[in-house]
Amino acid sequence: MPSRTAGWLGVGALTLGFGFLYAPIVLLVLYSFNASRLVTVWAGFSTRWYGALFHDTAFGAAALTSLEVAAMAATLSLVLGTLAGFSMARFHRFPGRLVFGFALLAPLVVPEVILGLSLLLLFVACESWFGWPSRGMLTITVAHATFGACFVSVLVRAQLAGFDRALEEAALDLGARPWTVLTRITLPGISPALVSGWLLAFTLSLDDLVVASFVTGPSATTLPMAVFSSVRLGVSPEVNALATLFLCVVLLLVAFAGWLMARTERRRQI
């Protein structure tokens, strides 16, 4: 293939691919500033839906619940996922490694309806045996931490695979205690995986509708649940405004993570 044709084909593929991925999101952002309630009419620029959104206490409460659950679930995921990632990367033989590996990877692909239903049935059984836990934020957090940990473990494992173990051995040879090696060499070395793992678990939790709908009780409504019950009735301009705000927050978080990783990368090179 002559390289110019290949170049044009490449540009075409990228334009189509990214156009497809981003056009709906861009349109959503535009419509959030539409003065009309209808998507069919552009009635001029307005921020009225943002005002309406801020006065909607149901969305506000749901957002707080979601943020609280996501922060707890992400932290729990980080601890569990890091332990699991270490185990799989460093210990190549232990009893049950095959089952452990399966249990770590399966939640990445198993349909959410199955994860949700199975966890709910566990929580209901627990409640009838021990009278605990009552369903709500706690059960959502546990459910989210379970699949969050699997994602974190994949990232940690991949980063450890590329980690130079000679650094740890050198530190040990120089008389450092294992704990010091862990906190001063290994953990800083895999910090990009830890940061992106926490953020990934956080956004996955913030985004989850299906699992949370199954395991929640009457006391807790998360943001996706509130959004879902409102969009089921059709297009809602307040949801457009909410989506735009959400997008801004995500962009800021991703930019922050990118800056953090670029900084650690630079430091390592010095």
Partner 1 sequence: MISLGWTGRLVLIGVPFLWLTLFFLLPLLIVVKISLAESTIGIPPYTPLLVNHEGGVELHATTANFALIAGDDLYLRAYLGSLGNAAVATALCLLIGYPVAYTVARSQGARRHLLLFLVMLPFWTSFLIRVYAWIAILEPNGLLNQSLMALGLIAARLPLLNNQFSVELGLVYSYLPFMILPLYGSLSRLDRSLIEAAADLGARPLRAFLGVTLPLTLPGIVAGSLLVLIPAIGEFVIPDLLGGPDTQMIGKVLWDEFFNNRDWPVAAAVAVVLVMALAVPLLAAQRFLERGHAA
Q: Which of residues 123-152 bind partner 1 (CB under 8 A)?
A: 124-125, 128, 142-143, 145-146, 149-150
Q: Indicate which single residue of 246, 260, 261, 264 sits in contact with partner 1 (rule: CB under 8 A).
A: 246
Can you tell me the distance from the alpha carbon of 74 to that of 144, in angstroms, rounded to the nearest whole number? 8
Binder of partner 1 out of 155, 220, 239, 241 (CB under 8 A): 239
- 111 binds partner 1 per the rule CB under 8 A: yes
- From the list 45-53, 57-65, 129-137, 198-206, the region that binds partner 1 by CB under 8 A is 198-206
Which phi and psi angles does 45 have, rounded to 5°? -75, 135
With binding defined as CB under 8 A, does residue 117 bind partner 1?
A: yes
Q: What are phi and psi of 218, to 5 degrees?
A: -65, -15
- Selected binder of partner 1 within 37, 134, 167, 178 (CB under 8 A): 178
Per CB under 8 A, contacts with partner 1 among 10-29 are 10-11, 13-14, 16-18, 20-22, 24-25, 27-28
Name residues contacting partner 1, limited to 42-101 (CB under 8 A): 80-81, 83-84, 86-88, 90-91, 94, 96, 99-101
Is residue 170 a contact residue for partner 1 (CB under 8 A)? no
Instruction: Check residue 1 for interaction with partner 1 (CB under 8 A).
Output: yes
40 phi, psi to nearest 5 deg: -80, -20
DSSP for 205-262, written as a single string:
HHH--HHHHHH--TT---HHHHHHHHHTTS--HHHHHHHHHHHHHHHHHHHHHHHHHH
From the list 37, 43, 102, 134, which residue makes contact with partner 1 (rule: CB under 8 A)?
102
Which of 44-52, 67-75, 156-164, 187-195 is the region at the interface with partner 1 (rule: CB under 8 A)?
Answer: 156-164
253 touches partner 1 by CB under 8 A? yes
Yes or no: say if 201 and 151 are a contact pair by the CB < 8 Å rule. Answer: yes
| Residue 174 touches partner 1, criterion: CB under 8 A | no
Structure tokens at 3: 């390289």
Question: Does 234 sit near partner 1 (CB under 8 A)?
Answer: yes
The per-residue b/e assignment along 146-157, b for 16 or more CB within 10 angstroms, e otherwise, is bbbbbbbbbbbb
Q: Please tell me whether residue 245 binds partner 1 under the rule CB under 8 A.
A: no
Nearest to 225 by CA among 99, 71, 65: 65
CB of 150 to partner 1, least distance (A): 8
Question: Which amino acid type is present at position 101?
Answer: G
- Give the three-state DSSP class for 186: helix
